[in-house]
Amino acid sequence: MYLLRLFVLLGFLTMIFLAIGYYFAGTYGMIIGISIALITNLIAYWYSDSFVLKLYKARPAGEDYPELDSSLEKIAGKAGIPKPRLYLVNTDVPNAFATGRSPKRSAVAVTKGLMRLSIEEIEGVLAHEVAHIKHRDTLVATLAATISGALTWFAYLFIFGDSRNRSIFSLLLLFILAPLAAALIRMAISRNNEFSADRTGAGFSDPLHLASALEKIAAAAKEKPIKGNESTAHMFIVNPFAGSVMKLFSTHPPVEERVARLRRMAV
Dist. CA 89–CA 6, nearest whole Å: 27
Dist. CA 81–CA 73, nearest whole Å: 9
Residue 108 pairs in a beta bridge with: 86, 98
What's residue 244's pLDDT?
47
User: What percent of the chain lies above the pLDDT cut of 70?
Assistant: 69
Q: Can you give the residue ranges of every domain in the chain?
A: 2-265
Instruction: Look at the chain and count its residues.
Output: 267
Say if residue 154's pLDDT is above 70.
Answer: no
pLDDT (mean) for 128-144: 85
What are 61-106's pLDDT values in tens digits? 988 999 999 999 999 999 999 999 999 999 999 999 999 888 998 9
Q: Which of 136, 75, 62, 58 is closest to 103 using CA atoms?
A: 136
What's residue 186's pLDDT?
61
One of 121, 123, 129, 194 is an active-site residue; which one?
Answer: 129
Cα dihedral 265/255/237/121 (nearest 10): -50
Describe the crossing of helices 119-134 and 66-79 by its angle, rounded to 10 degrees.
Answer: 40
Residue 63 a catalytic site member: no
Say if residue 161's pLDDT is above 60.
Answer: no
Which range has the top average pLDDT, 48-57, 188-197, 226-235, 252-261? 252-261
What's residue 266's pLDDT?
84
Q: Which of 239, 241, 245, 240 is closest to 180 using CA atoms?
A: 245
What's residue 77's pLDDT?
97
What are 11-62's pLDDT values in tens digits? 776 777 777 777 767 787 777 777 776 777 677 677 767 778 988 999 999 8
pLDDT (mean) for 175-203: 75
What's residue 150's pLDDT?
65
Distance separating the N- and C-terminal Cα atoms of the chain: 30
User: What percent of the chain lies above the pLDDT cut of 90?
Assistant: 43
- Grouping H, G, I as helix, E, B as strand and the rest as coil, residue 106 is strand
| Residue 44 CB coordination number (10 Å) | 21
What's residue 246's pLDDT?
46
Burial bucket for residue 6 (CB in 10 Å: 0-12, 13-18, 19+): middle
